[in-house]
Amino acid sequence: MADSYEPLILIVSGPSGSGKSTLVKKLLELPGTMLSISATTRPPRAGEKDGEWYHFVSDEEFRRMVERGEFLEHARVFGKHSYGTPKKWLEEARARKCDLVLEIDVQGAEQVRKKLPESIAIFIVPPSRQELEKRIRARGQDDEDEIGRRLERARLEMERYVDYDYLVINEDVNRAGEAVRAIALGARSETKRNGERVRQILKSFGG
């Protein structure tokens, strides 16, 4: 058996309110997957614990991490806060023989695709502008100006859909959850990712 496992890198992007975090959680229910915990300079929201979904750091610490080359990708999102994917999760995924799920924005996705062309990029699309607006309002987090900005950003992000391998329209969360899991399961079985293992199995036949 080949003893090094090359993890699948599953990128999930989508506008705020598209339900992407819920779908990432559904993806993480698949055995053999793990979350890449991003570092961010954004302050934690109520109920967010450090190290669970994000590692909350100061601007200074983030800068140091950039200087030390600790990030696979990093970006300033919405011109406000910095977010980055620490490279260490890749090592961790290899060690644990797990596939790695990255919930990152379109800029981050572009950087990862350049560095790791074998990665799989999934874009979560809301069913309509009206539905997205309804979901953003239902969260009750934002004032009118912020809602307007989020919708405009959603439009700009959605224009990048062509850069992604898969599009999942989140009309029904259960079906969308099945879709993201199916993408991961299908990718695990791709011939190009399994050649080495099958060669080893063939060897055991004395071929």
Binding site for ligand 5GP (CB under 6 A): 16, 38, 42, 73, 75, 77, 83-85, 103-105, 107-108
Give the nearest distance from C-beta 198 to ligand 5GP in angstroms.
34
Tell the smallest beta-carbon distance from residue 53 to ligand 5GP (Å).
8
Contact 163, 149 (CB under 8 A): no
Q: State the minimum distance, in angstroms, from the CB of residue 47 to ligand 5GP.
A: 12
Q: Which is nearer to ligand 5GP, 152 or 196 (CB)?
A: 152
The residues, ordered by sequence, that sit 6+ positions from 89 with a Cβ below 8 Å of its Cβ are 34, 36, 37, 72, 100
105 neighbors 157 (Cβ within 8 angstroms): yes
9/77 Cα distance (integer angstroms): 21
Nearer to ligand 5GP, 41 or 187 (CB): 41
Helices (H), the chain: 20-28, 59-67, 88-96, 106-115, 129-139, 144-158, 173-188, 191-204
| DSSP label of 162 | G
**31 or 120: whose CB is closer to ligand 5GP?**
120
123: burial class by Cβ within 10 Å (0-12, 13-18, 19+)?
buried
State the residue number with the nearest CB to ligand 5GP: 108
Q: Min. distance of Cβ 204 from ligand 5GP in angstroms? A: 41
Cβ proximity to ligand 5GP: between 153 and 181 the closer is: 153
Euclidean distance between CA atoms 124 and 58, whole angstroms:
30
Nearest distance from C-beta of residue 12 to ligand 5GP, angstroms: 8
* Cβ closest to ligand 5GP, residue 155 vs residue 197: 155
Smaller CB separation from ligand 5GP, 36 or 183: 36
In the complex, what is the shortest distance from the CB of residue 55 to ligand 5GP, in angstroms, rounded to a whole number?
10
